Structure 1
Amino acid sequence: MSVFSVFARLVGQLADLLQPLFHASAAAAAIVLFTALVRLLVHPLSRAAARGQRARAALQPRIAELREKHAEDPQRLQRAVLELHAEERVSPLSGCLPSLLQLPAFFLLYHLFSSSTIGGEGNGLLSHQLFAAPLGGRWADALGGGGLFGPAGLVYLGLFAVVAVIATFNFLRTKRMTAAGSVAAGAGGGEQIPGLGAVGKVMPFMSFFTLVTVAVVPLAAALYVVTSTAWSAVERAALYR
């Protein structure tokens, strides 16, 4: 039995459990519940990433000294900063791990609701809906079927509205954090790690890219993305306050 068959059975069983409460949208509720379970599993890593960020902030005075010492040798400065992180066992990329570990779950959902057959049999999950929108459909299908304000189109407009609110919240919060980090880095006359300045300018806008993802992936995968993004917003606000 393939991993997709096992996963399809898991989603189907969760949908059966939730059917008395959510009726025709039980499979959609099962995806939201599955997403919450995945996020609970990776939550310890998110807490570790928050501790890593605090540890990196604590290194700022020493990094400022390195900037002054190697002001005329950017390559030596970069090596010294990386060596300092290694010495203190602080990874500049530790915050990426929770997101990377969620990718398999997302791609499982994407494949499950993009395939007409699973394990050589018909994919019954494609018959499930979120209100009037099929979980295996995309925004383009909703536009072609009933237009922007058709029954399925309204489901997507609701999702876009939720994502826009979350993205705006993340944008404002990230701008504040980036500004605070820039002030701390600027006190030493440079960046914490050379080359990250451009990344810092783009980061506040990353949440809005979720709108594109929701528009192009199957609705089931879009539900995963929206639920996970909402979880991340609340989680990061709590861990990084």
Structure 2
Amino acid sequence: MDLFSFPPIAAILDAAYALLMGLASLLQPIAGGASAAVAVVILTLVVRTILIPTGIAQVKADQTRARLAPKLHALQRRHKNDRERLQRETMKLYADEKASPFAGCAPVLLQAPVVGIVYALFLHTVIAGHTNDLLAEELFGVPLGSSLIGSIGNGSLTLPAVAVFGVVILLIVAVAEVTRRLLRPDPTTLASTPGGQRTLRWVGLLQFGTAVAAVFVPLAAGLYLLVTVAWTLAQRVILRRKFPTEPSTGHV
């Protein structure tokens, strides 16, 4: 059974669809044929604004992890041959610091339902029993429901589609590179952990995962991804200045 056909979820999805298409209609006199694409961008900005508290919680969790990292590493070295003792001492450390090892998970779990509903708007051809007309709308002649890989596969790829998808994907790559350079983990801290340098390389590569996803998802979802990564970069830069992740130099 499709989760989004479950009546309560289908009703929420249909309400979000009505809101998005209503916004597109309001924008029609201003944006013309691109009104639906502009509505997707505006909806994304609204969603990211609503999720600002989860972003703050995530940065605070990062701050806590950075502060406790040296102490955790010391515990791991001291009790590397006694896993039960290591677990007890680790939980005691978190209790003493009034922190939780799961603090970083809560923001992700809280925003998952909202993001899931938004993605469903771009991926489902039928919503609450009716056609998803959003996917038939266009941006510079390219349907919002088409994907780059799908267009290549069915032989419908056109020059405008190459240009539109190319711009979206290249912008996502550019944001990913800026994110990688500005927000990569501290190499000095990672160097003291097992596999730290390998972790650093993987973190750098994962920044470009969104660009890969944009090749496969519909154009509407690609626009959502572009706005999301740009917003996330700006938000993280601002929040990291307000909540700097300076690791503690204390010892256990």
Fold match (TM-score > 0.5): yes
Q: 1:233 to 1:122 in 2, by over 3 A?
A: same
Cα 1:61/1:101, change in 2 over 3 Å: closer
Q: Secondary structure at the match of 1:94?
A: coil
| Post-superposition CA distance 1:141-171 (Å, at most 9, x none) | 4432234xx1112100001110110111122
Q: Is the 8 A contact 1:174 1:204 kept in 2?
A: no
Which of the numbers 128, 134, 148 marks the counterpart of 1:125?
A: 134
Specify the alignment match of 1:210 in structure 2. 210
Partner of 2:235: 235
User: Could you tell me how far 1:198 is from its partner in structure 2?
Assistant: 5.3
C-alpha distance in 1, partners of 2:95/2:201? 26
User: Which letter does structure 1 place at the counterpart of 2:181?
Assistant: L
Relative distance call for 1:93 and 1:196 in structure 2 (3 A) is farther
* Distance of 1:180 and 1:92 partners within structure 2: 22
Name the CA distance, whole Å, in 2 between partners of 1:58 and 1:110. 35
Structure 2 residue 179 is matched with structure 1 residue 170 = yes
How far, CA to CA, are the matches of 1:85 and 1:207 in structure 2?
29
- Calculate percent identity across the aligned residue pairs: 32
Residue from 116, 124, 145 that aligns with 2:156: 145
- If asked which structure has higher relative contact order (CA below 8 Å, sep 6+), I would say 2
State how far apart, in whole Å, the 1-side matches of 2:151 and 2:208 are: 21
The one-letter code sitting in structure 1 at the alignment partner of 2:51 is V
Please state how far the C-alpha of 1:79 moved relative to its aligned partner.
4.0
1:136 paired with 2:145, answer yes
Alpha-carbon shift at residue 31 of structure 1 (Å): 1.3
CA distance in 2, matches of 1:180, 1:100: 30
> How far has the Cα of 1:211 moved from its partner?
1.4
Contact 1:166 1:233 in 2 (8 A): yes
Q: Which residue of 1 aligns with 2:52?
A: 43
Give SS of 1:240's match.
helix
Give, in angstroms, the shift of residue 197 of structure 1. 7.3
The residue identity in structure 2 corresponding to 1:146 is L
Contact persistence 1:63–1:81 (CA under 8 A): yes
CA distance in 1, matches of 2:118, 2:58: 26
CA RMSD for the aligned pairs? Answer: 2.7
Unaligned 5+ runs, structure 2? 1-9, 242-252
Deviation of 1:201 (Å):
4.1
* Counterpart selection for 2:123 from 79, 93, 114: 114
SS in 2 for 1:59: helix
CA 1:23–1:105: 2 relative to 1, 3 Å: farther
Residue 71 and residue 8 in structure 1: after superposition, are their counterparts in 2 closer, same or farther (change >3 A)? closer
- The residue type equivalent to 2:186 in the other structure is T
Structure 1 residue 83, shift from structure 2 partner = 3.2
Query: In 2, are the aligned partners of 1:12 and 1:125 still within 8 Å (CA)?
Result: yes
Q: Distance in 1 between matches of 2:200 and 2:217?
A: 27
Aligned length: 230
Find the counterpart in structure 1 of residue 248 from structure 2: none
Q: Is the 8 A contact 1:110 1:217 kept in 2?
A: no
Q: Provide the TM-score with structure 2 as the length reference.
A: 0.78
Choose from 55, 63, 68 the match for 2:64: 55
> What is the CA deviation profile of residues 18-71 of structure 1, one whole-angstrom value per residue up to 9, with x for unaligned ones?
223321111111111111111111212211222232233333454355345435
Whether contact under 8 Å (1:163, 1:226) holds in the other structure is yes
Contact 1:110 1:220 in 2 (8 A): no
Partners of 2:187 and 2:197 within 8 A in 1 = no
Could you tell me whether the CA contact under 8 Å between 1:110 and 1:218 is conserved in 2? no
Distance in 1 (alpha carbons) for counterparts of 2:100 and 2:198: 20
Aligned to 1:179: 187
**1:82 Cα deviation from its structure 2 partner:** 3.6
